[in-house]
Amino acid sequence: LTGALLAAMLVFGIRRQVNMLNLQTLLVQPEDIAGLRWLEENLPQGSLVAINSWRWLGETWAGSDGGAWILPLTGHAVTTPPIDHIYNPDLFKQVREFNQSASAVSDWSDPAQAEWLSDQGVSHIFVGKRGGFFDPAKLAGNPKLELLYNRSGVLIFAVGE
């Protein structure tokens, strides 16, 4: 009886888990990996990288493209760290406020937006293959942002003063 129960749990558990990996949950694309390597090799220590994110659960924000892997793979700080940031109330509030403001921006080509990012301590922007609220075309049109990396839909900008 125990064996049958365990077998049933295994079969039904696998069926529920099989669709966990889908286009919504696969954040990093193959094109992002080269951008992550470049970022690790070329950004100075102490850089704060703005990344695309999305409202995941309630008021919790999560990375929405390859930028979600910057902190764990390169050690560079990001505007939306891995989900366990929710256990630090001050960091949770800071991440939530940044993302609410950033996601409300409609025109990233406006130099005032680069100044706002700089005021937040952001030194770079990473736009992964999946993208998000950072519009690459508008970012490229911002005179206060310098395009450092542009390959296969992955872009990295430096934020000017």
Secondary structure of 86-147 as H, E, C letters = HHCHHHHHHHHHHHHHHHHCCCCCCHHHHHHHHHCCCCEEEECCCCCCCCHHHHHCCCCEEE
For the chain, how far is it from start to end, CA to CA, in angstroms?
69
* Among candidate residues 75, 78, 69, the one with its CA nearest the CA of residue 51: 78
pLDDT at 13: 74
Whether 26 contacts 125, CB under 8 Å: no
Question: What is the model's pLDDT at position 21?
Answer: 56
pLDDT the model gives residue 20: 56
CA–CA distance, 43 with 108 (Å, rounded to integer):
22
- pTM for the predicted model, two decimal places: 0.84
Q: What are phi and psi of 128, to 5 degrees?
A: -80, 175
The helix (run of H) or strand (run of E) holding residue 149 is strand 145-151
On average, the pLDDT of the chain sits at: 90
Q: State the pLDDT at residue 98.
A: 97
- What parts of the chain have a pLDDT lower than 70? 14-28, 161
